[in-house]
Structure 1
Amino acid sequence: MEIKNPKKNLVALFLPSLRGGGAERVMVNLARGFREQGLSVDLVLAKAEGPYLADVPEGVRIIDLGARRALYALPKLVRYLRQEKPKAMLSTLTHANIVAIWARIMSRVPVRLVIREANTLSLSAQNAKDLRGKMMPMLVSFFYRYADIVVANSLGVANDLVTRIRLPRERIKVIYNPVITPEIFAKAEEPLHHPWFQLGEPPVILGVGRLTKQKDFPTLIRAFALVRRERQARLMILGEGEARPQLEALVRQLGLEHDVALPGFVENPYKYMKRAALFVLSSNWEGLPNALVEALALGTRVVSTDCPSGPSEILENGRWGPLVPVGDAKALAEAMLAALETDAPLGPVQSLERFESSKVAEQYLRCLGLINWEDEECKKR
């Protein structure tokens, strides 16, 4: 691998903030990977806030544009590009990607621009609550063509961009998320003093994610209620979001107050994953669910909905864990019960190297033009 002179090659990573989420964690991991290759890295944030600020690697410069939303950061992003003239810029999250495209056009700086689409966009738009969200596919269809490369984090996301958004397939590169890092294994070994995870306690089923419609935790809670009719168990869902009141009401309605916990966002979910009897992904849709990969890497048995997209690719069509229909609490409960009754350890999952941070960072650096290679998809157009 040949990296060009890092002093002349500043790479900028643009996103709205570092609030807790999969896309934010991906960008922090990529920043670390780029620094490990000796490159200069700017993490350019519309607003420098969020719990992942504490995880930004040493040597990565944080640029706070001081804007409440990505759109409002546009003038300062244009100014940043003109002043710093990075060799390449990577952005993520759909609305931030469009702002990054506008900024490059307006700045007239020849920065190579790679944008990362992290969700099944057609479904996100279909379930959007506001007009901006519903119009996003139209904006994407028009403006994404001005990026040098569009990175999709799964084949499902790529196919959605082609079939629903009508982007040319040759402009899209599939690169999985840089999920597996040495840090998650170190954090998984940290002590966990929660009483549910002590010896002799019932098995804990774990869900992780923002409390939103996308994650469909109501189906997980209803499935858990069916599991509790058959055996002792507990359910813990790590995350925060606007659906908390509805989820708490459902827990009370089903009489599960003593067996379901919603502790909110936690800085280290890995020590919970490592000790959980089962990890469950109940999502309606995804791009590529990081938590599912992390649970597998930590040796935890998993069950997932076969939602678009990502789980079937991660689990290789059920090889590493059962896939059940979206929104089917009965099928999810049956898969959870079967997994809890299996005594054999999961064992090392093959093919997880696709998600190793160092390897993924190298693929991004190729697309960003900072590594010489022969792949025509990622050469400068």
Structure 2
Amino acid sequence: MKKSIAFVLPNLNAGGAQRVVSSLANSLIKEYDVCIIVLYNCDPFYKLHPDISIRFCLPEYNSNPNTFQSIINIFKLVNSLIKILKNNNTSIAIGFMPVTNIYTILATRFINIPNIISERANPKYSSMNKFWTYFRKIAYPFANCLVVQTKANKDFFKTYVRTEIEVINNPVDRELLEKRNFQFPKENIILNVGRLDEPKNQDLLICAFSNINNSKWKLILVGDGNNYNEYKNLIASLKMQDKIILAGNITDVSKYYNMSKIFAFTSKCEGFPNALIEAMSFGLACISTDCPHGPSEIINNNHNGILIPVGDQKALEENLVKLMNDEVLQEEFRLKAVQSTLAYQPNDIASEWSKIINNLILKEIFES
């Protein structure tokens, strides 16, 4: 009989953590009964295996609660999470992202089942308020295992937990890989994929592209976010509406990966750059800022891609021009990029998670 596992996260919207959970759940459904528990009712952005069940703790999100409502909401969410875990006879709960990690720890301690929590963002650039930052330090020592994506994140959280911290990279989405087509006709497109917000720093890319000879090229930015209108206005002010395209959120981004030649990644900080891994697995020649954390663990500078200093528009312009004008270098980076991303295959990453899950379940059985 399969053991029951539950992933817990805030929502199933478009996002890095949501994509990773979806990919892991789709891989692990062969071995476990998988449930995804979200805090509030929502439709999944990414495709999920039909055998994966989805549960939600509360029907809707109050975007502007007062202090009293916030406290009541926490109790409601944890209580609902406890009920779902018990009703599903869950063997282990796996939290993703800080606040849901805390809820997962509270709920699992109450019903005495093991937990795994996972930090996805760069904690040094966290937007968590003082309450949750303080609560995280209190709750995290009660985690059975903490999974992070980079060695730098592991070093940061060493003082937070009493158990082992495991470093597991993100998998490339299986469904995305299945749509990879190396024979697809390439176009003179520079691609960027990610949320349109300040940490991703796409305005640097927009300005750099507008400042170089781009007569035969286009820049496409896939994603949505707080800065969409700001970037739209910036593109208009540069009179680049015909050259720079804001494509919005795209469920199936494989078309853009298949048709583009160059991928430009301009983040100021990262937890782990999913889009960069995806682009390299599709064989795009990649330029990335050497931001904390992730790119330098993926790109060997001038071997399988190019690293530039964060915020350096001149370096970005020079290297864009270099790649745009050198098809031999594009091909060299393409082949080496694909080879270097073999370590991020979904089955291999799922196996790493499965090993931790099984060890904790067995440990709980022997100790009970």
Alignment of 1:62-211 (within 5 A): 62-69=54-61, 71=74, 73-105=77-109, 108-124=110-126, 128=127, 132-162=128-158, 166-168=159-161, 171-181=164-174, 183-189=175-181, 203-211=188-196
Question: Is 1:355 matched with 2:344?
Answer: yes
- Does the CA-based 8 Å contact 1:154-1:309 persist in structure 2? yes
Query: Partner amino acid for 1:82?
Result: K
Query: 3-state DSSP class of the match of 2:6?
Result: strand
With structure 2 as the length reference, what TM-score do the two structures score? Answer: 0.87
Measure the CA separation in 1 of the matches of 2:108 and 2:347: 28
Measure the CA separation in 1 of the matches of 2:157 and 2:291: 16
Query: 3-state DSSP class of the match of 1:45?
Result: strand
Shift of 1:231: 4.9
Measure the CA separation in 2 of the matches of 1:174 and 1:296: 21
Measure the CA separation in 2 of the matches of 1:63 and 1:34: 18
Out of 226, 251, 264, the residue aligned to residue 280 of structure 1 is 264
Percent of pairs with identical residues: 27
Question: Is 1:265 matched with 2:249?
Answer: yes
Question: Is 1:11 matched with 2:5?
Answer: yes
Measure the CA separation in 2 of the matches of 1:338 and 1:302: 12
Alignment of 1:232-381 (within 5 A): 232-317=216-301, 319-344=303-328, 345=331, 346-348=334-336, 349-369=338-358
- Does the CA-based 8 Å contact 1:112-1:369 persist in structure 2? no
Shift of 1:210: 1.0
- Does the CA-based 8 Å contact 1:46-1:66 persist in structure 2? yes
- Does the CA-based 8 Å contact 1:148-1:380 persist in structure 2? no
Give the 3 Å change call, closer, same or farther, for CA 66–187 of structure 1 in structure 2: farther
Give the 3 Å change call, closer, same or farther, for CA 134–255 of structure 1 in structure 2: farther
- Does the CA-based 8 Å contact 2:92-2:114 persist in structure 1? yes
Question: Is 1:223 matched with 2:225?
Answer: no
Measure the CA separation in 2 of the matches of 1:133 and 1:318: 39
Measure the CA separation in 2 of the matches of 1:170 and 1:342: 49
Instruction: Provide the aligned length of Structure 1 versus Structure 2.
Output: 349
- Does the CA-based 8 Å contact 1:88-1:369 persist in structure 2? no
Greater shift, 76-85 or 113-122, is seen at: 76-85
Shift of 1:255: 1.9
Match of 1:195 in 2: none
Alignment of 1:23-42 (within 5 A): 23-37=17-31, 39-42=32-35
Measure the CA separation in 2 of the matches of 1:355 and 1:215: 22
Shift of 1:30: 0.7
Shift of 1:353: 3.0
- Does the CA-based 8 Å contact 1:235-1:260 persist in structure 2? yes
Measure the CA separation in 2 of the matches of 1:312 and 1:139: 31
Give the 3 Å change call, closer, same or farther, for CA 168–75 of structure 1 in structure 2: closer
Query: Partner amino acid for 1:112?
Result: P
User: Where does the alignment leave 5 or more consecutive residues of structure 2 unmatched?
Assistant: 62-72
Give the 3 Å change call, closer, same or farther, for CA 306–135 of structure 1 in structure 2: farther
Shift of 1:136: 4.0
Query: 3-state DSSP class of the match of 2:283?
Result: coil
Deviating beyond 6 angstroms after TM superposition, the runs of 4 or more aligned structure 1 residues are: none
CA RMSD across the alignment: 2.7
Give the 3 Å change call, closer, same or farther, for CA 169–283 of structure 1 in structure 2: farther
CA displacement 1:312-362 (0-9 Å, x = unmatched)? 111135531111111111111112121222212121433423211111111
- Does the CA-based 8 Å contact 2:94-2:118 persist in structure 1? yes
Measure the CA separation in 1 of the matches of 2:53 and 2:214: 53
User: Where does the alignment leave 5 or more consecutive residues of structure 1 unmatched?
Assistant: 193-197
